[in-house]
Amino acid sequence: MKKFMYLLLVAALLSGLVATTTACGPTPTPGPTATPKVVEKIVVITPTPAPKRVTLIITGPSSGETGYKVLQKQLERFTKENPNIEVKIQEMPWSSTLQHDMFATWSAGQLPTPDILRLDIVWPAEFAAAGWVIPLDDYIKKAGIDMKDFLEGPLSGCTYQGKVVCLPYFTDAGLLYYRKDLLEKNNFKPPETFADLKEQALTIMKKEGIKNGFVWQGDAYEGGTCDLMEYLWGNGADVLDDKGNVVIDNPKAVEALSVMVDYIKSGVSPAGVTTYKEEDARNVFQRGDAVFMRNWPYAWAAMNAPDSPVKGKVGAKPMVHGPGQKSAATLGGWNLAVNKFSQNPDEAFKLVAFLTSAEIQKGTALGAGLSPTRKSLYKDADVLAANPFWKDFFDIMIGAKPRPVHPRYPEISSVLFTEAHKALTGEQDAATAIKNMAKKITDIVKK
C-alpha cells in the first residue's frame, strides 16, 4: 500500500513539472491547421525637408519699358512653378555705361546681390577674368540644355577661356529704320550709302515738313561707340586688326566720322542728337518727327503697337555705308550670368535657364520685340509674324560684327565715344578725334 501511494505522488510531481515546462518554454510549432502569428515590421519614415525659401534679385529694364512688363509676367510664372523662390527685379538705367560701372562696383565689393547680372555682350570676358561670375558648364550639363540651339555669335560672347560664363538672353544688330510711306510718296528706294540717306532726308524734310531727317545715338556712352563702329566698318576702317594692333588712324576712319559730323552740320540730324540714347531716338521717330532712325530690333514692336502714330508705315534695312563698301552691323545683345558671390547660385541658375529657354524667349520676342538667341525661333511662324523683317535679316543679325575684342575693352570704348562726341559737338575736328583715339587706345593696349 505504501509503495502504491509513493508511485502516485511521483506521478503527480512529474505531471506538474511537464506542465510547468511547457508553459514557460518556446511556442510550439503550429500544425497544418494552425493560424500563423503575424509579426509587423515597424518602418521609421524621415520627413523630406521642404525646399528652403530664397529671394533672388535680377537686374532688368526700368518699369517704364515694355520689356519690364514682359519680364515681370515671366517671373510670376517662374515663382508659381517654384513656390520656394521669390524673385525681385532691380531696375537699371538705360545707359549701358552706367550699368557697367554699377556692376563693376558691386562685384569688386563682393556683394551677394543682385544674384543674376544682365551683362552686355562685351562684358562677360572682363567679369569672368575678374572672377565675378560663376562658370556654368557643370550646371548646363546637369540641366541637359541644348547649347547647339544658341546662335554662334552670342554664345561665343558668353564664352571665356573655353568656359561658358553666362547664357545668351537676347541678341541685337544695328538696323536702319525708315518711313516707307514717305519714301514711296517721293519715289525713293531705301538708301544704300551715306550720301543716299542725306539726299533723301533733306528732300523729304523740305517737301513733307518733317522736323528731322535722321536720328541716332550720339551721346557719349556705349551706344555712341556702337553707332561709330558701323560707320567705321561701313567705310572700310576698323579700330584693331586681327592681331590686336591699333589701326584706326587712317583716312577711311576720318571720312567715316566726318559723315556723322556732317549729318549734324547739314541739318539732316538735329543738334540735340548728341544727347540721344536709344529711347530718345525711338520716341522722336515714333512720333512721326523723323524720316530715318538707327536703332536695335527691339524698337520694331513699339513702333507697330496699336497706338503708335507710325504703325504700318515703317521699314527696316541694313545700315548705310560708304561708296564701294558693305553694310556692317554692330553685334549687340545681353546675357544672364550668376553672381559669383550669390548665396543662392543653384536657384539663380534655375532662373537663368528658365529665361533663356526657347519657350520663354519666344514670349520675350513677341511681347518686347527682343531678338531671340535660339536658332529655332527664327523659323517660328508666330515670331516671324510679329517681326517679319527678322526673316530677311537673319543672316545680318547672326553675322553682326563684335566691337573691339580686348580685355580692356571698356577703356577702349570710353576713348572712342568720348573723342567722337567731341567731334560731333564741334569741340574738335574729325581728323584730330581719330588721332586722339589712336594714341590713347595704343597706350591702353600696351598696358
Q: Which grid cell is 383?
A: 515670331
CB 210 within 8 A of CB 267: no
23-27, 33-37, 137-141: the lowest-pLDDT one: 23-27
Rounded to 10 degrees, what is the CA torsion of 115, 116, 119, 124?
A: 70
Parse the chain into domains and list their residue ranges: 54-172+332-398, 175-328+406-445
Closest CA relative to residue 167, chosen from 177, 159, 175, 176: 159
Closest CA relative to residue 295, chosen from 317, 310, 313, 278: 278
- Report the predicted TM-score, pTM, of the whole model to 2 decimal places: 0.75
Q: Given this model, what pLDDT does residue 366 score?
A: 93
Domains 54-172+332-398 and 175-328+406-445 share a fold: yes
Q: Given this model, what pLDDT does residue 8 score?
A: 42
Which CATH number is 54-172+332-398 given?
3.40.190.10
Helices (H), 118-250: 124-129, 137-143, 152-157, 180-185, 194-208, 222-233
Q: How high does pLDDT run on average in the chain?
A: 89
Question: Is pLDDT of 227 > 60?
Answer: yes
Q: Which grid cell is 319?
A: 545700315
Query: Per-residue confidence at 42, pLDDT binned at 50, 70, 90?
Result: low
- 324-359, pLDDT tens digit by residue? 999 999 998 999 999 999 999 999 999 999 999 999
Class of domain 175-328+406-445: alpha beta
Rounded Cα distance, 71 and 269, in Å: 34
